[in-house]
């Protein structure tokens, strides 16, 4: 048998090629569907995580004295603005076509990380103020 030849009879038909192409398309669709499902699950996890973190920060803020609440009011508002931006990007992700989801997932991840860092900094500042 020469290089590049298959054991199959030389009679490859258009139907054989069509069947192979359909198999490849089906496998690709299955893979894409699984990848999108994984991304969707990751986005839902990000959404829940941020909701929990914001809820915790809100509880800590609510426990502050009125003077400290006034001091941190603007920072809390900035966090809420960041959260709205993240929610908007997640909504954009949810409405996007499959080929755009991976790109948007990266943007969601960046916004989530920035918000998480802001929440942590906010919580540290409030904790330090209550220690004094």
Which pLDDT score, from 0 to 100, does residue 11 have? 66
Tokens 């290089």 appear where?
3
pLDDT tens track for 52-74:
999 999 999 999 999 999 999 99
What pLDDT is attached to residue 19?
74
Report pTM: 0.68
Model confidence pLDDT, tens digit, residues 8-26: 555 677 777 777 777 666 6
DSSP string, 51-114: HHHHHHHHHHHHTS-HHHHHHHHHHHHHHHHHHHHHHHHHHHHHHS-HHHHHHHHHHHHHHHHH
Q: Which two tokens stand for residue 48?
A: 């829940």
Angle ∠(72,78,79) on CA atoms, nearest 5: 90
Write out the DSSP string of 8-60: S-S---HHHHHHHHHHHHHHHHHHHHHHHHHHHHHHHHHHHHHHHHHHHHHHH
1 pLDDT tier (thresholds 50, 70, 90): very low
């Amino acid at each position: 048998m020469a290089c590049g030849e298959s054991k199959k009879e030389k009679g490859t038909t258009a139907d054989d090629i069509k069947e192979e192409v359909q198999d490849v398309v089906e496998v690709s669709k299955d893979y894409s569907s699984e990848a999108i499902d994984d991304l969707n699950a990751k986005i839902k996890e990000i959404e829940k995580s941020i909701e929990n973190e914001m809820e915790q920060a809100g509880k800590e803020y609510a426990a502050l004295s009125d003077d400290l609440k006034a001091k941190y009011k603007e920072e809390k508002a900035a966090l809420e603005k960041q959260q709205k931006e993240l929610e908007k990007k997640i909504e954009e992700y949810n409405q996007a076509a499959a080929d755009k989801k991976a790109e948007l997932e990266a943007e969601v991840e960046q916004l989530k990380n920035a918000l998480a860092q802001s929440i942590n900094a906010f919580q540290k500042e409030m904790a330090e103020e209550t220690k004094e």
